[in-house]
Amino acid sequence: MAAQRRSSSFGSPQQEQLLKSADVLKSQLDKANLQLLRNMSDFHSWKLDPESDDTLDLEGVKDPAIVAADVAAQISFLRKLKFQYLEQNAKDRYVKSIVSDIDDAPIVTAEDNKELLASNAAKKERLKVAKSSLAEMQSDIRTLAPLVENGEPSQHPHPFKIKDDAAKASLLAQQILDARLALTRLRKTHPHPRLTVPLADQKLVDQVEEMQALNDELEAVNAEVQDVKEQVKHGVLHVEALRVERAEVDKAVKIARVEEDDARLVPLYSWYAASTNLHRSVVGLHESYTASENELRLTYGIDPLVEGALAHRIMITLIFAPDTRRLAAVQTRGLEELGVDVGDLVDAHVQVNDVHGVVAAILSRARTRNVA
């Protein structure tokens, strides 16, 4: 009786409709290409990167193992719930068939049982074929999974190399982290405002102009260096000539040298000193001083116009060009008190390099008080 009740409940039109709906759902899932297996493997292989800036809000995220255990527990619970539902539905139908009137009760005949047995046999056959196909697929997965993991060639047109891909993905992730770190350092090193493309172009133009100016300056310096080299070459030749002349002079001095105790030196020195004092007294020279190698200072006395007054002193400074005997400039001091202007005399004699003439002209004008 129980077997008959179960057969009648499983062979009802509602159960057939549910089975058709399940088949339709299975075909739709097969055609949808949801890639659940690949997503499940990606989910298990995914690792949380705490240093990444792209991480979203991860509150409530659980361990994949815990999630898998929860899913398995829920599937088991749903299966038990389904079985209990079917069992309660069968009991309810059986009770209704007993307590209802015999005219309203459904009549189950031997033909119905045969049809139900045939339907169950066909379903069992399909289930057996599906189980064998599933077992074959699982066997293929167990066989091909190590080959795919090791990257060995297989009959698949596009064999996968999981280890190599995983290593490459890890390397790329590390490179991304390094690039982000380098970018962060660059942003800290170069804060705002940063160099833009127009500013960079303008800076390039300015640098090109600066380089052109520096290049012109370099050429000018090189030309000046060449001129200096030529002058140094001529100077070296002149120095060599002077060395030869000095050697000849030293030789002549050695030939004409006299002994320190020569009796002729004292009369000559006395005569020279007397002549110098006489010359100074005649021209009024009080002092001569060499300030440097190219500067000579002469101090002269000018007789006053009033008798009994002190002599007025003037200073004439003769400045020569370095390393030459040419007169470069003449400076005077003390002529302003006498009201004498000697600018024209100085310019005229400096142009012709007349040292004696300029000194004589200045003294003559100062003594005669002839103001130009």
Predicted confidence (pLDDT) per residue in 181-201, tens digit: 998 898 888 777 777 888 888
What stretches of 252-366 adopt beta strand conformation (E)?
A: 285-292, 295-302, 312-320, 327-333
Average pLDDT, the chain: 77
How far apart CA 151 and CA 255 sit, in angstroms, is 108
How much is the pLDDT for 121?
A: 93
- pTM for this model (two decimals): 0.29
* Mean pLDDT (whole number) for 354-359: 83
Any idea which of 15-19, 31-35, 252-256, 288-292 has the lowest mean pLDDT?
31-35
Nearest alpha-carbon partner for 115 in 125, 105, 123: 123
Q: Is 56 left (phi over 0), alpha (psi -120 to 50) or beta?
A: beta
> How many contiguous H segments (helices) and E segments (strands) does the chain have?
11, 4
Asked if pLDDT for residue 159 goes beyond 80, the answer is no
The pLDDT score that the predictor gives to residue 43 is 66
The residue with tokens 């309810």 is 92
pLDDT at 262: 58
CA distance 287 to 265: 25
Q: Give the pLDDT mean for 294-322.
A: 79
The pLDDT tens digits for 14-65 are 767 777 777 777 777 677 666 666 666 676 676 555 455 444 444 555 677 7
| Count of C-beta atoms within a 10 Å radius of residue 342 | 22
Question: Which pLDDT belongs to residue 15?
Answer: 66
Q: Fill in the DSSP letter of residue 90.
A: H
Q: Which is higher by pLDDT, 27 or 82?
A: 82
pLDDT at 256: 66
Predicted local distance difference test score (pLDDT) of residue 57: 46
**Tokens for 246?**
């000095």
d(CA 85, CA 96): 16
Reported as type and span, the H/E element at residue 213 is helix 197-256
Rg (CA), the chain: 63
What pLDDT does residue 67 have?
83
Beta-bridge partner residues of 90: none
The mean per-residue pLDDT over the stretch 80-106 comes to 81
Measure the CA–CA gap between 111 and 61, rounded to whole angstroms: 57
Rounded to whole angstroms, the Cα distance separating 328 from 351 reads: 9
pLDDT at 164 over 80: no
What is the pLDDT at residue 271?
66
Query: What is the model's pLDDT at position 158?
Result: 47
Indicate if the pLDDT at residue 337 is higher than 50.
Answer: yes
Q: Are 123 and 112 in contact (CB under 8 A)?
A: no
Report d(CA 291, CA 349) in Å as an integer.
22
Residue 173's CB is within 10 A of a number of other CB atoms, namely 13
Q: Which residue has the tokens 């949380």?
A: 48
23's CB contacts (< 8 A; 6+ apart) are none
User: Which range has the worst mean pLDDT, 15-24, 77-86, 314-323, 343-352?
Assistant: 15-24
